Amino acid sequence: MTVIVRDVRPGDTEDAEGFARVRRAALPFMLATGPQLIHEWAHAHSDAHARPLLAEADGEIVGCAEVELAHESPEPGTGLANIHVHPEHLGRGAGTLLLRAAEEHLARAGARRVYSWVLDDPASRAFAGRHGYEGRRTAYFLRLDLTTAALPPLQSPPDGIELRPAADFAADPRPLFELDALTTADEPGDVAAGLADYEHWLATTWRHPLRNHELTMVALAGGRPVAFSAALDDGLGRYGSGMTGTAPGFRGRGLAKLVKNASLHRARAAGRTEAFTGNDAGNAPMLAVNRWFGYEIVVREVRHVRTLG
């Protein structure tokens, strides 16, 4: 069997569907569709130097890689490379070839270090160690069965708080961008990020194919968004939490629970059967919120890093 690595062909449906198929097999806890990937690749920021890669074995797509610079990070020289190989094709060299191509591209683009998410299992940890990566931050994937979950009853908003779907902001979503930027700035993580480009946010977040504005819920105080729970929807019955955030001055009031509960109830009423989310292991408040809903941890992953050169 001969394995080759190549670039994704822009706009190619077969490449996008193959990429999505491999990622769903390797990471069934994350939503992935062909149209989603085509949209993301078409709207990748020029400063990210994004380069999606595919590994083929005798013409069959068996692996893929998400490769880019962390262009929103205030710390220059940070590269991101997430490698996925279909479970039926492990141990045949596809992962090594993908990682080598990713690192070479990132080095040419100016990266001095590369971060990669690695599943916390013996084979994945060994692969990362062989290639010089060291484990740092831990995170979890969580799942909730919406067909059996006993969701908390819907609650009335507290005095002064109004609850609305994000669809109500279709004419002017900038207030949601401003809240997203505010909460992203202090989100736990090892690679800092900041949102400053409204037009890019519109293209990559607001108009993202998986974003469901009817299921995304927003809490307002005095007409201003102060908390939100973003909903992703793959059209296959699976619901994902894009992010749940609360403005600093409104934390500790139960607004994260309020918006996420409303979103989950809407998702179940709309026929969604599974809900997925991810949490940084150090984000105790959000982990507590998700356990309150009944989410269960299904797998742990560890962010690894390697210095290039």
* pLDDT at res. 194: 61
Same-domain status, 71 and 190: no
pTM: 0.89
192 or 88, greater pLDDT: 88
Sequence-distant (≥ 6) Cβ neighbours of residue 3 within 8 angstroms: 55, 56, 57, 62, 92, 93, 94, 97
In Å, what is the CA distance from 257 to each residue of 92, 152, 155?
45, 10, 10
Same-domain status, 182 and 95: no
What counts of helices (H) and strands (E) characterise the chain? 8, 12
How many of the other CB atoms lie within 10 Å of CB of 263?
A: 26
Same-domain status, 223 and 174: yes
* pLDDT at res. 309: 81
Banded pLDDT at 184 (limits 50, 70, 90): confident
Q: Is residue 222 part of a domain?
A: yes
Name the domain boundary from 111, 126, 157: 111
Q: Is residue 116 part of a domain?
A: no
Cα torsion through 277, 281, 283, 286, rounded to 10: 30
Q: Is residue 83 part of a domain?
A: yes
Domain CATH for 235? 3.40.630.30
Burial (CB count <10 Å: 0-12, 13-18, 19+), residue 148: exposed
Name the domain boundary from 87, 111, 135: 111
Q: Is residue 231 part of a domain?
A: yes
- Tell me which residue has tokens 């390697």: 306
Name the domain boundary from 111, 133, 163: 111
In the chain, the number of structural domains is 2
Same-domain status, 176 and 224: yes
Q: What CA–CA distance (Å, rounded) separates 156 from 154?
A: 7
Which tens digit of pLDDT belongs to each residue from 135-147? 999 999 999 999 9
Banded pLDDT at 12 (limits 50, 70, 90): very high
**Is 60 exceeded by the pLDDT of residue 52?**
yes
**Is 60 exceeded by the pLDDT of residue 189?**
no
Average pLDDT over every residue of 188-214: 83
Range of the domain at 157: 144-300
**Is 60 exceeded by the pLDDT of residue 180?**
yes
Q: Is residue 305 part of a domain?
A: no
* pLDDT at res. 207: 97
The token duo for 14 is 């077969």
- Amino acid identity for residue 9 in this structure: R
Average pLDDT over every residue of 30-55: 96
Banded pLDDT at 208 (limits 50, 70, 90): very high
Same-domain status, 185 and 104: no
- Per the DSSP assignment, residues forming a β-bridge with 279 are 140
Q: E strand or H helix at 127, and its extent?
A: helix 122-130
